[in-house]
């Protein structure tokens, strides 16, 4: 199944424990010496072979013990429980990196795979605010920063990005709580990013 042609595009955002703007995307050490990041993807258009993935949601929570490109990440994946069995398998294949493309680059840093859960995922993407909730596991709210002339603060072409080739809007967390497996964290006033994304393969 990993040889199927596939493509997914839509909106992504993330929250982490680093100071704004996250030094990790510039290959520098995390603000706290480690990074606790949660990433959300909403697929607006996409398919895996004949499996339509439009409207599907995926979340990954990661803890990196040091500079992110050094590896050693612990990672957990969450897929919206509304996905069909075929969609679940396709999303798992893509976002685990098994289907190649940019997800394979990101997941190559994970050494501890905590597990996969099918859960209710609720998200809102309105203006410069993004929210994400998985009951009893994850609660996130980020708000985009306002720069000169009221324009958003953006980053272009950092060496490490969830969404390469896209303009990244810089945000700040107003809420960020995670508790699952053997991890628990809570951060406020830390880094957030949102942007479009587009992945494809093989």
What pLDDT, in 10s, does the model give residues 113-149?
999 999 999 999 999 999 999 999 999 999 999 999 9
Mean pLDDT over 81-104 rounds to 97
Q: What is the predicted pLDDT for the residue at 93?
A: 97
Domain boundaries, the chain: 6-197
* Residue 137 pLDDT: 98
With bands split at pLDDT 50, 70 and 90, how would you rate the model's confidence at 202?
A: confident
Please, what is the Cα angle at 71 between 68 and 76, to 5 degrees?
90
Predicted pLDDT at 2: 61
| 11-21 tens-digit pLDDT | 999 999 999 99
Distance of alpha carbon 76 from alpha carbon 113, whole angstroms: 6
Is residue 68 packed enough to be buried (19+ CB in 10 Å), middle (13-18) or exposed (0-12)? buried
Which residues are CB-contacts of 59 (< 8 A; sequence separation ≥ 6)? 38, 39, 40, 41, 77, 78, 121, 132, 134, 138
* Contact between 93 and 48 (Cβ < 8 Å): yes
Neighbours of 122 (CB within 10 A): 11
Average pLDDT, the chain: 97
- Residue 1 pLDDT exceeds 70: no
Phi, psi (rounded to 5 degrees) for 86:
-65, -40
CA distance 183 to 108: 21
Mean pLDDT, range 166-181, rounded to an integer:
98
C-alpha dihedral, 77 to 80 to 86 to 91, nearest 10° = -40
Q: Mean pLDDT throughout 186-195?
A: 98
Separation between Cα atoms, residue 183 and residue 37, nearest integer Å: 12
Asked whether 58 and 149 are in contact (CB, 8 A), the reply is: no
Q: Do residues 92 and 77 touch, judged by C-beta distance below 8 A? A: yes
33 dihedral zone (left: phi>0; alpha: psi -120 to 50; beta): left
Q: Does position 33 have pLDDT exceeding 80, yes or no?
A: yes
pLDDT at 3: 74
* Two tokens, residue 124: 């809102």
Kind and range of the H or E element at 46?
strand 35-48
Tell me which DSSP letter residue 95 carries: H
């Amino acid at each position: 199944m990993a040889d199927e042609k596939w493509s997914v595009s839509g909106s992504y955002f993330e929250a982490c424990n680093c100071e704004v703007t996250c030094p990790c995307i510039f290959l520098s050490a995390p603000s706290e010496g480690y990074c606790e990041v949660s990433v959300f993807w909403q697929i607006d258009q996409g398919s895996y072979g004949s499996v339509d993935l439009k409207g599907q949601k995926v979340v990954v929570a990661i803890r990196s013990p040091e500079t992110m490109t050094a590896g050693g990440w612990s990672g957990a994946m969450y897929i919206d429980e509304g996905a069909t069995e075929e969609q679940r398998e396709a999303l798992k294949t893509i976002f685990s990196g098994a289907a190649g493309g940019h997800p394979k680059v990101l997941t190559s840093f994970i050494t501890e795979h905590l597990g996969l859960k099918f859960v209710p995922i609720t998200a809102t993407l309105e203006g410069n605010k993004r929210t994400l909730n998985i009951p009893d596991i994850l609660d996130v709210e980020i708000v985009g920063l306002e720069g000169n002339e009221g324009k958003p603060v953006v980053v272009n072409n950092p060496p490490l990005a969830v969404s390469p080739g896209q303009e990244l809007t810089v945000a700040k967390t107003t809420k960020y709580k995670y508790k699952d497996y053997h991890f628990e964290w809570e951060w406020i006033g830390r880094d957030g990013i949102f942007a479009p994304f587009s992945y494809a393969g093989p």
